[in-house]
């Protein structure tokens, strides 16, 4: 796997993602990976800090507001994950997720100088099934309203997101 932070890597990652992904801005401020084989770009993955308030996660972990404030920095959020449209390899998505989860603690420690113990993600339930996360042994935590990370309202906003995590 090629690290996007190497010379030219971040630019190549942004250029690749901006051509094919509707949520490309999520990769701008995160721990990013551009996965390549010998000669082609294959996938783009990125990790960032976790959303502060996430009811399914807090219930799963048994966190109070105090515990969340104290421990939120130990959680990584898998931003939108992209297998490039021209790549057709069976089981690639779950394989890459598994590899990234194994690499994540060391990379996070190197970049942010503290450990990470838990990873989470959202899958837009209206567009995707999240099969690769289930195949990579991620646990379904529940549903959360789409847009809840940035819009402070009560009730559902747009489509619902599946929240999944892996300890």
What's the first-to-final CA gap in the chain, in angstroms? 23
> Of 160, 132, 152, 164, nearest to 60 (Cα)?
164
Q: With a cut of 50, say whether residue 73 has pLDDT above it.
A: yes
Regarding predicted confidence, which is higher, 21 or 97? Answer: 97
Per residue in 14-50, pLDDT (tens digit) is: 666 565 554 444 444 566 666 766 667 788 788 888 9
Distance CA 68, CA 78 (A): 18
What does pTM read for this prediction? 0.76
Query: Domain holding 90: CATH number?
Result: 3.40.630.30
pLDDT on residue 41: 74
Confidence of residue 87 (pLDDT cuts 50, 70, 90): confident
Domain that holds residue 81: 2-166
Q: Give how many domains the chain has, as a whole number.
A: 1
pLDDT on residue 83: 84
pLDDT on residue 152: 45
CA separation, residue 11 to residues 4, 45, 69 (Å): 8, 14, 34
Q: With a cut of 50, say whether residue 53 has pLDDT above it.
A: yes
């Amino acid at each position: 796997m090629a690290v996007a932070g190497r010379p030219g890597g971040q630019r190549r990652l942004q250029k690749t993602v901006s051509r094919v992904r509707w949520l490309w801005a999520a990769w701008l401020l995160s721990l990013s990976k551009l996965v390549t084989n010998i000669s082609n770009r294959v996938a783009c993955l990125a990790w960032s800090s976790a959303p502060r308030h996430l009811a399914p996660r807090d219930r799963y972990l048994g966190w109070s507001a105090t515990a969340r404030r104290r421990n939120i920095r130990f959680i990584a959020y898998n931003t939108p994950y992209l297998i490039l449209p021209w790549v057709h390899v069976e089981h690639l998505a779950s394989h890459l997720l598994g590899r990234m989860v194994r690499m994540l603690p060391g990379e996070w420690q190197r970049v942010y100088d503290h450990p990470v113990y838990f990873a989470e993600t959202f899958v837009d339930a209206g567009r995707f099934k999240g099969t690769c996360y289930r195949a990579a042994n991620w646990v379904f935590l529940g549903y959360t309203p789409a847009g809840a990370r940035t819009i402070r309202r009560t009730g559902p906003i747009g489509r619902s997101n599946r929240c999944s995590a892996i300890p």
